[in-house]
Structure 1
Amino acid sequence: MPDKARGIDPRGPRFAAAITSVLLLVDVFLGLTGATVAAFVLLVAIALLFLWGVVSPRTAPWGALYRGLIQPRLAPPSELEDPRPPRFAQGVGLFVAAIGILLFVVGVPWGVPAAAAAAFVAA
């Protein structure tokens, strides 16, 4: 494991995963109820958030929200986490969301809810 100066608070990625999981469940619901365009737009937004988490995790919205509003109210973490696994998870989410977007674009309507469900399971 890297030295403590490079570690991250493990509660931050858990917070981000919780918000992302809720968004993915909403996306599955929209896709299964026939609101395919809304589900597609939401999946594109989720994919952009995944991309942001891969490219610049320090400025990603859920991490910034956690660091600004929640972390100051908590005790310091007992141990820090290697930042690579959460970043890898963001990359996996981006890949799965991109597959769903691609399926929708080529005319497969169930691609969006299937990809959102797969990303939810992976989260």
Structure 2
Amino acid sequence: MDCIFCKIANGTIKTEFLYEDERVVAFRDINPVAPVHVLIVPKKHIESALKLEGEDFNLIGHVFMVAKKLANELGIAKDGFRIVNNCNRAGGQTVMHIHFHLLGGRDMQWPPG
């Protein structure tokens, strides 16, 4: 498989993980749009939110628990943060492996884009 996030998650491409367990990895985005911009990536390859199956329910809940943990550790929980999932190209998804952006450290604007 030629998926960059699969390669990062399995260690083929080295990066510094802020978090790792048996289901997900988290690391800083290489093109941050906020002072804190972390990607939370499931190790299981799922192309997008549209490809989620019933058994993925617990995995996505786990992503949000990891986001909560990281928000606290990175000091953005108190003031607030955003969790973003882009779906397909027109939705802003550039890597076709489901992932979540944890953004914080500044006021988030609305609408987002």
Q: Is the pair's TM-score, using the shorter chain for normalization, greater than 0.5? A: no
Asked which structure has the greater RCO (Cα within 8 Å, sep 6+), the reply is 1
- Higher helix proportion, which one? 1
